[in-house]
Each structure stands twice: as C-alpha cells, then as structure tokens.
Structure 1
Amino acid sequence: MDIKQIQELIKFVSKSGVNEVSIEQKEFKITIKTNQAPTYVTSAPAQAVPQIQATAAATTVSVSAPAEQAVAAAPAKDDTSNYLTIKSPMIGTFYRSSSPDKPLFVNVGDEVKAGQVVCIIEAMKLFNEIESEISGRIVKVLVDNASPVEYDQPLFLVEPV
C-alpha cells in the first residue's frame, strides 16, 4: 500500500462515519480508529498518531485531517443549538432519492411535516424509507448521498416551525 492509498483510506474513514478500519497485508498492518462523539473530536489526532506508524508521511496526514475537522466542527455546533436533528434509526447506506433519476425527497429550505419521507437507508439489500418525526424547515443535509451511516447519526438539521 502506497502513501496515496493510505491518504485515500484516511479521507474515506473520516467522511464515512466508520469508527475503525483495519487492513492487514503481507508487509504491514494498518488500523485507523476515529472517535465520532463531538465532545472528543479534539482528542482524535492523539489517538490516530500511534495507530498509523507504518509510514511517517501517513502519520502526518492522519494528524492534519482530523485537526481540520475539529476546527470545522467547533463553529457548526454553536450554529446548530436551536435546530432539531433527524437521526438515522439504523446502520446502512444513505440515499436522498429513491433512484438516481428521481427527484430528491427533501432539499435545504423545504418544509417537512411529521411522517413525511426524507430519505432512504439501505440495510441488508432492503430499502427503508425514513420518515421525519418533526415538522419544520430543512436547514442542512449532514450526510452525502450514497454514504454509509451509523445508528443515531445525525442526517438533517431542521428549524422548528
């Protein structure tokens, strides 16, 4: 595994919400762990350094990527204090529409009502429609389309009406 593959793996882990990835090959073993709780974001770089010592350059990349996220996450928490969150009820793959050629269920600025379908989560080849439990206006979509999500992961920020 070369440095570019390690960098891509680190980016994937940080964006996907996965807590741990381990890869073992003949020459080396690499484990990348993340801590998804917002209160521990600042401690993530300290945990990532000892785990990726296969290449010195990889350690540098793993430290800088979570550091950027920590800076970005801090202001976002302050801005979202008066918003409600629609969270994932399961582990799976997040989709914003029923198929690539269909319109999105909701966009930023759309009004949603309790019981309205806001996305689909695919789990074990079953497509589960996720309904909003709250009414309000979509302020932000927190997950990229076709990205893996975990149980209780925030998907949308909603401003109550």
Structure 2
Amino acid sequence: MIKMSDFQEMVNIIDRSSVNIFTFEYEGMKIKLEKQPILQDKVQKEEVGVSVSDPLLSNEQTDKAAKDEAVSKEEVITSPMVGTFYTRANEGEERLVQVGDTVQKGQVVCIVEAMKLFNEVQADVDGEIVELLVGDGEVVEYGQPLFKLKKRS
C-alpha cells in the first residue's frame, strides 16, 4: 500500500518539474495529476494590488509590491495539498485554532482531508492567527493560503 507521505512527495516532485499531466496507477487505483499553468504570477500580483496589464507601472511600485508579496508569503499558512479544509479534528470538538490564538511552529492548526485521509496542517512559524481565509468544509488547492499570521519577533 502506498503511504500518504510517499504520495505527497510524488506530488511535490511533479509540482517542481516541467511535467503538466501525470497519471499513476497502483493496485486498481488510478490518480491523474494535472498542473494548470494559470498565470500564477498575474494572480499573485493582483493579490497585492498590482495590475499586470498596467504598462505605466513604475519600478518603485513594482518593488513595493514584490516586498509586500514576500512579507505576505511569510505570514500565511498554506495548504500542503488539494483537499477539504476542516477547523476541527473531529465533529463536535472545538476548533484547533481561532482568530486571536497564539500558535507555535509545528502546532496543528487545521485538517485537510484528501482521499479519505485526514492530514494535519502545522504552523510554519510562531505567531498569532489574525485571519481565517477559508471556510470550514471548503475545498482548498495546493499552496492556497489558509490563515494569516502576525509573526512573533
């Protein structure tokens, strides 16, 4: 049987490669991974308020947007995989974290269910949860921001 960690590693390798479509068959199970090169740079620049189609954008504005983007990347917890986002480990239990909670690096902050496997997502840095970016039960994409953090210094 294939381990989830092996599957995650395979997805990461494919994500970093130039392969756009990958099909994997194992013990009667077939998985097709397909990267969709959707102008990721355009989406990221629009998230920080930079219009990609604006030819009059100054270098100063571009540099500021790039710095803002770098800061925002450091202050978010992202999904390690495609799946369904949950704020609770089990139905009826309290949320793992809420806005205002202080978290430590390695602390479990949510669950992402993928292929009937419940995967714990951990904080990458110490900080305070300032915003929940996804609703409970929503489908999330690989790399999608889940929480905004205010980093502790």
TM-score interval, normalised by the smaller of the two chains? 0.5 to 0.7
Structure-1 residue corresponding to 2:131: 140
Task: Point out the more displaced range, 112-121 or 92-101.
Answer: 92-101
Structure-2 residue corresponding to 1:88: 79
In 2: Cα distance, 1:39 partner to 1:113 partner: 29
Please, which of 86, 90, 114 is the counterpart of residue 123 of structure 1?
Answer: 114
Instruction: Please provide the CA RMSD for this pair.
Output: 2.6
Structure-2 residue corresponding to 1:39: 45
Please, which of 100, 104, 108 is the counterpart of residue 113 of structure 1?
Answer: 104
1:95 and 1:82, CA in 2 relative to 1: closer, same or farther beyond 3 A?
Answer: closer
Amino acid across the alignment from 1:143? V
Gaps of 5+ in 2: 1-37, 53-67
In 1: Cα distance, 2:86 partner to 2:73 partner: 26
* TM-score normalised by L of structure 2: 0.54
In 2: Cα distance, 1:154 partner to 1:81 partner: 10
Amino acid across the alignment from 2:88? S
How do residues 1-161 of structure 1 correspond to structure 2 at under 5 angstroms?
Answer: 37-40=43-46, 81=72, 84-161=75-152
Gaps of 5+ in 1: 1-33, 44-76
Aligned length: 94
Pairwise CA distance, 1:133: 1.1
In 2: Cα distance, 1:82 partner to 1:128 partner: 22
The structure whose residues are more often helix, as a share, is 1
Runs of 4+ in 1 over 4 A off after TM superposition: 40-43, 80-83
Deviations 1:47-71 (A, max 9, x none): xxxxxxxxxxxxxxxxxxxxxxxxx
1:126 and 1:81, CA in 2 relative to 1: closer, same or farther beyond 3 A?
Answer: closer
* TM-score normalised by L of structure 1: 0.52
In 2: Cα distance, 1:121 partner to 1:88 partner: 8
